[in-house]
Structure 1
Amino acid sequence: MLELEIERVAHGGVFVAHHEGRVVFVADAVPGERVAARVVDQGHDRFWRADTVEVLQASPDRREHVWAEASVDRAPEHRAGGAEFGHIRLDRQRELKADVLRDALARMGGVEREVEVHAVDSELAPGASDTDGTGWRTRVRLHVAADGTIGPYATRSHTVVPVASLPLAVPELGAIAPLGDRFPGAHAVDLIAPSVGDVAVVVVEGERMPQAPRPTIEERVGDRRFRLDRDGFWQVHRGAAATLSRAVQELIDGELFDPRAANHDLYGGVGLLAAAVGDRFGDAVRITTVESDPRATEHAGANLAEWVGARAVTARVDRYLDELAASAASAGAAEQERIRSATIVLDPPRSGAGRAVVERLAELRPRQLVYVACDPIALARDVGLFRERGYELDELRAFDLFPNTHHIEAVARLRAIV
């Protein structure tokens, strides 16, 4: 057992302390606290990992955890995972997330910038609480133990923790969650609350979904509806899709936008952000959405069908850009200008776009990029890569789409330096 002074936040929902010159990443703490912590991982030369066992001197930012089953009062191995900031006042959570993004941009992106993390507009997320950060999650996966008991995993483990409540879930899911039931032989139990239609409890029998026709659902964003597979990707916060759509619309510089250019929505899913572009700039917009999941692409084509200039392509983004660069090299001046005049929206997975995609985009030289990121480290790395290739971070907004967790969503505009 170690007695540690907690210094600052680190990426990943943990906090930094030092012991005899070694960095210790501590869970369930708050900067400024003194805690007793148990080391759980000594497998690294440069740092250890530890869990808070007792708070010896509490921060004024500490509060009673919003999820009793995740509280520091429980043994670490019996704490529910998925709400690692739930013991911290909500306004302080946002400050800590801003610190992580600001530090990442400075260290990896070479950009010094003030960051403010904004709450989701309450009008976009009815039922969610901006007082304690509960009631927002529309998708919940509960894992199944060997005896059929269901619950979340404990942090950094595959131990199922039985729970009596799901405070981060929208109230409709809390009302139907079969938390006391057993599901022997099942892989997981998914709870889904689409914005259109009924909530659902889905028992997942295996790790892979069957190839038979899958059930679909509809989601509403403003006046627009999107169809997708019930097990397909959609933002989990009730107000996230509308928040990101609005941010993308606002961050596109209208003076740089050419509706006839080779505009793209990369990692486009079912067409959410392509639709946001079209809704701002009108039905004359030409835009191609690129997504590797063929089912999502199929839905994107239908969701964007009203735009003659919209096209949905099934492809890995890196390979698609390779082909686009090759064709651009042999194309005429008019086609090359369409690419250089383009606006590119990209919403990559948590790992970010990465070097290969950044290099291809920089080679194609579109006027502006609007980058939606769910990981501050990946965003900062890619901002740094773009800066090395002639793009500057022009504007940045960050949103608290995952209250009571360490996760943060950011939308950045990068502009080609002429």
Structure 2
Amino acid sequence: MGENTGREVELTVERIAHGGISVGRLDGRVVFVADAIPGETVRARISDDRKKSFWRADAIEVLAPSEHRRDHVWPVASIARDPRQRAGGAEFGHIALSHQRELKRQVLAESLQRMAGVESDVRVEQLPGDHAANGLGWRTRIRLHVDDEGRIGPMASRSHTVIPVTDAPLASPAVQAATPFSERFTGLGTVDVLAPTVGDARLVLGEQKPTVISERVGERTFRLDDTGFWQVHREAPAALTAAVQAAIDDAAFDPRAANLDLYGGVGLLAAAVGDRFGASTRVTSVEADERATERAAENLAEWVGAAAVTGRVDRFLRELEQSASAAERARLRAATVVLDPPRAGAGTEVMAALGRLSPAQLVYVACDPVALARDVALAAQHGYRLARLRAFDLFPHTHHVEAVASLVRD
């Protein structure tokens, strides 16, 4: 850290940036400010001045508040606390819910315009129940960390410091009730608490061996490991199922084609495709996690044409390119490909391979707007354009936003 670390400055923040931080300027230098809202004037403390091009700072006092500022939904994360002692995981908790969605919209639209040259009037849709609950009580899973004294809590933002807490207001009532806030856990790194839709809430302590749970989405039940990936918001699996089904162009869908569900997890979106287009649907789910693939095979068993393959997506596509016969390539060109990559996105190699295989349409589920915009630009190099885009507030009181993009060949 340099000589400016710890210095307190007055800043007027201008706009929101990717990652949920606001942007201000100090003597012409960009300063990324946590816990401020665009339009506000704040007193901020410089936390990192190592870069020549920008500094980082934390708001410590609001001098001219935004009309959208609210009391923080989680006092342990509020601006009243020392920045080093603010709980992470609710970085938009001081902003009115409707304005949170507007800020997320701005980041998504700006990313698409800047990186892909695409103008978008996308809006961020709220999920059922969130307005009435003020964006609280939606998390069906939380991960808490253990400090040196055995107390549990989240880490502070951009830090490995554990902040002990006695509540978790973003968690569902069942998760909150099952969380052992007052207990001590020595020798453990993490404590996971989850409340599946089937059965009781449970704890997963440290590297505990996984057990199988069930989650219901509409009339369908999915089996998965309690340590495995599942959408966190109580309404997210149903919302994404419906969004993916709506994002597929019926006219371009061929149930007999070599349809793919990449980064498929336990088969949620492959099942969405199968439910939308019927018993004859062919779809292959590709997932790197072997245990998730085993669960996907069970969850997709009713479709004779469904399969679940364990493998990294980039390697799977590379082998497909190398080994596909002329008939298989034709089925791939007729295919619909659903992909739900991790936060880093699909990336250059995967998007290039998809471009060469040239499926009829791509339905891209994204949890990071910048990664999505980059991949939309990469797809454009292979003749795909963004035909439809929806965005969902799957993570109220955080900066995260989910998007579902339809990419079609011109």
User: How far did 1:129 drift?
Assistant: 5.0
User: How far did 1:315 drift?
Assistant: 0.7
Q: Residue 190 of structure 1 aligns with which residue?
A: 192
C-alpha separation between the residues in 1 aligned to 2:225 and 2:329? 36
**Percent identical residues:** 60
Residue 317 (1) aligns with residue 313 (2): yes
Q: Which of 265, 277, 280 is the equivalent residue of 2:276? A: 280
Residue 100 (1) aligns with residue 93 (2): no
SS in 2 for 1:6: strand
After superposition, what is the alpha-carbon deviation per residue over 1:359-408, rounded to whole angstroms, capped at 9, x for unaligned? 00000000100000000000000000111111000000000000000000
Q: Contact conserved, 2:150 with 2:186, CA < 8 A, in 1?
A: yes
Q: Residue 357 of structure 1 aligns with which residue?
A: 350
Q: Residue 5 of structure 2 aligns with which residue?
A: none
C-alpha separation between the residues in 1 aligned to 2:152 and 2:274? 42
Structure 2 CA distance for partners of 1:129 and 1:116, relative to 1, 3 Å: closer
After superposition, what is the alpha-carbon deviation per residue over 1:37-85, rounded to whole angstroms, capped at 9, x for unaligned? 0000111111000000100111110000000111111111111100000
C-alpha separation between the residues in 2 aligned to 1:220 and 1:408? 23
Q: Residue 378 of structure 2 aligns with which residue?
A: 385
Q: Which of 171, 181, 184 is the equivalent residue of 2:183? A: 181
- Give the TM-score, by structure 1 length: 0.95
After superposition, what is the alpha-carbon deviation per residue over 1:78-131, rounded to whole angstroms, capped at 9, x for unaligned? 111000000000000000000000000001111011120000133xxxxx5545
Q: How is 1:364-383 mapped onto 2 (pairs within 5 angstroms)?
A: 364-383=357-376
C-alpha separation between the residues in 1 aligned to 2:330 and 2:183? 61
Q: Residue 305 of structure 1 aligns with which residue?
A: 301
The residue type equivalent to 1:105 in the other structure is L
Q: How is 1:13-412 mapped onto 2 (pairs within 5 angstroms)?
A: 13-122=20-129, 128=130, 130-204=132-206, 206=207, 210=209, 214-328=210-324, 331-332=325-326, 334-412=327-405
- Give the TM-score, by structure 2 length: 0.97
Q: Residue 3 of structure 2 aligns with which residue?
A: none
Per mean C-alpha deviation after superposition, the further-off stretch among 150-159 and 128-137 is 128-137
The residue type equivalent to 1:148 in the other structure is G
Q: Contact conserved, 2:204 with 2:227, CA < 8 A, in 1?
A: no
Q: Contact conserved, 1:215 with 1:230, CA < 8 A, in 2?
A: yes
Q: Contact conserved, 1:370 with 1:414, CA < 8 A, in 2?
A: yes
User: How far did 1:235 drift?
Assistant: 0.4
Structure 2 CA distance for partners of 1:142 and 1:129, relative to 1, 3 Å: farther
SS in 1 for 2:250: coil
C-alpha separation between the residues in 2 aligned to 1:341 and 1:185? 53
After superposition, what is the alpha-carbon deviation per residue over 1:198-238, rounded to whole angstroms, capped at 9, x for unaligned? 0012221x4xx55xxx3111001000000001100000000
Structure 1 outlier segments of 4+, above 6 Å: none
The residue type equivalent to 1:404 in the other structure is H
User: How far did 1:336 drift?
Assistant: 2.3
> Which sections of structure 2, spanning at least 5 residues, go unmatched?
1-7
Per mean C-alpha deviation after superposition, the further-off stretch among 167-176 and 95-104 is 167-176
Q: Contact conserved, 1:90 with 1:131, CA < 8 A, in 2?
A: no
Q: Residue 125 of structure 1 aligns with which residue?
A: none
> Which sections of structure 1, spanning at least 5 residues, go unmatched?
123-127
C-alpha separation between the residues in 2 aligned to 1:177 and 1:261? 46
The residue type equivalent to 1:222 in the other structure is G
The residue type equivalent to 1:406 in the other structure is H
